[in-house]
Chains A and B, each alone.
Chain A
Amino acid sequence: MQTLTPQRLRELDLKATDVREGIIRALLAAGSGHSAGSLDMADIFTALYGHVMRHRPEEPNWPQRDRLLLSCGHIAPVRYAAMANFGYFPVEELLTLRKFGTRLQGHPERVSLPSVETTSGPLGEGLAQGVGMAQAAKMDGADFRVYVVTSDAEHQCGLHWEAMMTAAKFKLDNLLCIIDRNFIQIDGSTEEIMPLEPLADKYRAFNWEVFECDGHDIAAFVATVERAHAVKGKPQVIIAKTIPGKGVSYMEGDYTWHGKPPNAEQAKTALAELAATRERILAHV
C-alpha cells in the first residue's frame, strides 16, 4: 500500500461523497433497496477500492487481484457505486439497479458482474467462502489478500462462526474480515434482537487478531488495515463503527432505513446534503 498523503485523503473523501450520490441515485431509480447499510459503508468501500486493494478495473478477473467479498449482499449499491466510481463501468449504469436485464442485480451475482467474487444476499456465507479463497492462496503460494465485508447481524448466522474457527485453524493471515458495526438490523437494534456484544472478545476467543476503528474516518481505517496486514499467523478482523445512513441526516441512526429507498423528495434532500458535504471538503485546503 502507498502512503496516504493529505492530498490523496481529500480525493478519497470526495470520492466517498460521489459513491453516496451514486447510491442515492441508484436507489431512487430502482424504487426499492437498502439505504442505511449502503451509505454507512461508503467510506470503507472508497478506501478499499481507492487505496487498499490491488486490483485492475480494466481487467476485473486479473488473477493476482485482491479478493473482496461482500457477504451482506443487500448493501450491493455501495459496492456497485464504488465500482462505477473507480472505473469498472459507467456511473450511468447505476440507474439500472434492480431492473429487468441488469448486471446490477438486487443482490450481487458472480455470473452477472465480474469481480464481485461471489453471489450474496443470503446472509452469513461470505466469510466461509473467503476462508476458501485465502486457503487456496496459501496452497498456491499466491500473495493476493482476501477481504470480507460482513454486517453485524450476520454474526447471528451459525456458518459465520464455523468460518471463524476454520480461519484460525488454518492461520489465514491473508484474510481480513471487516464488520459494518452499525448496531441495526431489520427489526431494530442488534442488541435487542440478538445481542452480539462483547463482539471483539468473541473474535479474540476464536483466535483472531481484533482491531476497532471509526468506519467513517478513511485515514484511521487505512492505518488500521496496515496494522492488520502486519499480523502473522492469524486472521484479522476490523470492527468498524458506523452510523447507519451516514451522510444523509434524516436517515442517520434510524434502523427503519435498512431496507427502503428514498422517494424523489427525500433523494433531492439527500443529494443537496451530499453536495454541501462536497463543498465543505473542497473548502478545507
Chain B
Amino acid sequence: MSDTQTLDRAAQAMALVDYRDTANLKQLPTRNGFGEGLLEAAQANRNVIGICADLSESTRFEALKNALPEQYLEIGVAEQMLVAMAGGLAAVGKIPWIASYAMFNPGRSWEQVRTIMALNQTNVKIAGAHAGVSVGPDGATHQAIEDIAIMRVIPHMFVVVPCDSVQTKKATLALSQTFGPTYLRFAREKSAIVTSEATPFEIGKAQIFREGADVAIVACGILVYNALIAADKLSRERGIECRVVNNHTVKPMDEAAIIDAAKTCGAVVTVEEHQVQGGMGSRVAEILSAQHPTPIEFIGVNDRFGQSGDPVELIEYYGMGSAAIEAAALRAHGRKRT
C-alpha cells in the first residue's frame, strides 16, 4: 500500500514491518526459520543435536547436517523411534530436536510423546513441519490439523506456533535454551514475514500486533497475517478497530493477555490453521468461560479433513482467509453485550 499512513503504535512497539505493503512484503516458509535457528543453537551448544527421519530437506535440517554433521543423526522412516531414542539421548544430557511432518511426529508418535517426553519430563524438542491444510496437493493424509489439540492436552508440554519465519527462528533458539518437552509447529509454504529482527519474542508471552477496542482477534501461526489484513480492512471500511494478538504460545497460554483482550474488546475471534475443536481457540474459550465469559467466534477447520488442492485455495475453502476473519469479527462484534 502506498499511503503515508503509518502502522499503529502497537505495531511500532513490536517493530513489525508494514504488512499492508503487499508489494514489498517478504515471503518465506516458516520452516526456514527453524533450520536457521537450529544451526545457531547447535553452534552455541554442542549438546543441541538434530535427529532426522528421512526428511532433511523438507524439515530444513540440511543446514545442520552440512555444517555440524557430528551433531546430526539420520534414522530413516521411524517416527516412534525418533521420540524414544531422543528420550534416551535427553536422559543423558543431550538436547535433541526431532523433526518430521507434524502428521507423523507427533501424529504417529503420540503415546511416546506423552510417556517418554512429558511424563518423563525429558528435554526433547519436536519440530512439526508441514502442519495445516496449506500443505496443499499432498492431501488429507499429510495435512496435520489435529496436532495442537493432541499436544496441548499433555501436561508439561510447551506448544509454540510462531507467526512467520523470523519468529520461528527466535522460537527455535528460545526453546533450545528452555528445559522441557516441546512442540514447535510450522508450515510448508511461503508466508508473509510480518515481524522483524527487532520484534521481541518470549515463550508464553502473547504479543499485541495491532491495537483496537472493538474486537480482539487472537491468532497463531501463518494466519496472523490474515488476521492483520482483516483488521486493517475492518478499520478502513467499517471503522471497527480490532486488537490483533499473536498468541504464539498455545501452552502455557498467556492467560492475562487473553483476559485483557476480552475485557478491552468484549468480543473475541480466534484464528488458527487447525481443527476448531481442541485447538488454540478452544484453550482461549476454556480460559474465558471460566474467568471472563465473552462471545467468541472460531476460525479454523470445522470438523472436516483436508484434501488436495492449491494452498491458498484450501485456506479459502476451509474458511480461514482474511474475508472469513472479517466476517467472524463482525459476527463477534454483533454479539457483544451492550
Q: Which residues of A contact B (CB under 8 A)?
A: 30-33, 73, 98-102, 105-107, 109, 119-124, 153-154, 156-158, 185-187, 190, 193-194
Nearest-Cβ distance from residue A30 to partner chain B, whole angstroms: 6
Q: Give the residue of B54, B107, B309 whose beta carbon is less than 8 angstroms from that of A153.
A: B54
The distance in angstroms between the C-alpha atoms of A82 and B115, with both chains bound, is 44
List which B6-55 residues lie within 8 A (CB) of chain A: 52, 54-55
Q: Which of B77-85, B278-286, B288-296 contacts A (4 or more CB under 8 A)?
A: B77-85
Knowing A105-B307, A122-B108, A187-B55, the reply to whether A153 touches B76 (Cβ < 8 A) is yes
Q: Which of B137-145, B176-184, B264-272 contacts A (4 or more CB under 8 A)?
A: B137-145
Closest 4 CB pairs of A and B: A194-B76, A100-B309, A121-B141, A156-B76
Contact B77 A98 (CB under 8 A): no
The distance in angstroms between the C-alpha atoms of A105 and B138, with both chains bound, is 7
Contact B141 A185 (CB under 8 A): no
In the assembled complex, B103 has its CB within 8 A of some CB on chain A: yes
In the assembled complex, B74 has its CB within 8 A of some CB on chain A: yes
Contact A105 B140 (CB under 8 A): yes
SS of B interface (majority): loop
The distance in angstroms between the C-alpha atoms of A177 and B69, with both chains bound, is 36
Q: Which residues of B contact A (CB under 8 A)?
A: 52, 54-58, 74-78, 80-81, 103-104, 107-108, 136-142, 307-310, 313-314, 317
The distance in angstroms between the C-alpha atoms of A106 and B130, with both chains bound, is 15
The distance in angstroms between the C-alpha atoms of A223 and B77, with both chains bound, is 32
Complex interface: chain A residues within 8 A of B310 (CB): 100
Nearest-Cβ distance from residue B131 to partner chain A, whole angstroms: 15
Contact A194 B56 (CB under 8 A): no
Complex interface: chain B residues within 8 A of A33 (CB): 137
Contact B141 A122 (CB under 8 A): yes
- Nearest to A74 among chain B residues (CB) is B138
Complex A-B: 14 CB contacts under 8 Å: A100-B317, A101-B309, A107-B140, A109-B140, A122-B104, A122-B141, A156-B75, A156-B77, A158-B78, A158-B81, A186-B54, A186-B56, A186-B57, A187-B52
Complex interface: chain A residues within 8 A of B76 (CB): 153, 156, 185, 190, 193-194
Contact B54 A185 (CB under 8 A): yes
Complex interface: chain A residues within 8 A of B104 (CB): 122
Knowing A100-B308, A106-B308, the reply to whether A193 touches B74 (Cβ < 8 A) is yes
Complex interface: chain B residues within 8 A of A101 (CB): 307, 309
Knowing A100-B310, A187-B54, the reply to whether A32 touches B137 (Cβ < 8 A) is yes
Q: Give the residue of A31, A106, A193 whose beta carbon is less than 8 angstroms from that of B139.
A: A106
Complex interface: chain A residues within 8 A of B52 (CB): 187
Contact B57 A107 (CB under 8 A): no
Contact B308 A102 (CB under 8 A): yes
Complex interface: chain A residues within 8 A of B107 (CB): 122
Contact A107 B138 (CB under 8 A): yes
Complex interface: chain A residues within 8 A of B313 (CB): 100
Complex interface: chain A residues within 8 A of B54 (CB): 153, 156, 185-187, 193-194
Complex interface: chain B residues within 8 A of A102 (CB): 308
Nearest-Cβ distance from residue A10 to partner chain B, whole angstroms: 36
Contact B77 A124 (CB under 8 A): yes
Knowing A100-B313, A187-B52, the reply to whether A121 touches B77 (Cβ < 8 A) is no
Complex interface: chain B residues within 8 A of A100 (CB): 307-310, 313-314, 317
| Residue of A32, A101, A187 most packed against chain B (CB within 10 A) | A187
Contact B108 A98 (CB under 8 A): no
- Nearest to B135 among chain A residues (CB) is A106
Contact A106 B142 (CB under 8 A): yes
- Nearest to A112 among chain B residues (CB) is B307
Q: Give the residue of A99, A119, A124, A158 whose beta carbon is less than 8 angstroms from that of B308.
A: A99
Complex interface: chain B residues within 8 A of A185 (CB): 54, 76-77
Q: Give the residue of A106, A120, A158 whose beta carbon is less than 8 angstroms from that of B138.
A: A106
Contact A121 B142 (CB under 8 A): yes
| Residue of A30, A32, A158 most packed against chain B (CB within 10 A) | A158
- A-B contacts besides A31-B137, A153-B77, 6 pairs, CB < 8 Å: A105-B141, A121-B138, A158-B80, A158-B81, A186-B58, A194-B75
Contact A98 B139 (CB under 8 A): yes
The distance in angstroms between the C-alpha atoms of A144 and B107, with both chains bound, is 33
The distance in angstroms between the C-alpha atoms of A99 and B136, with both chains bound, is 9
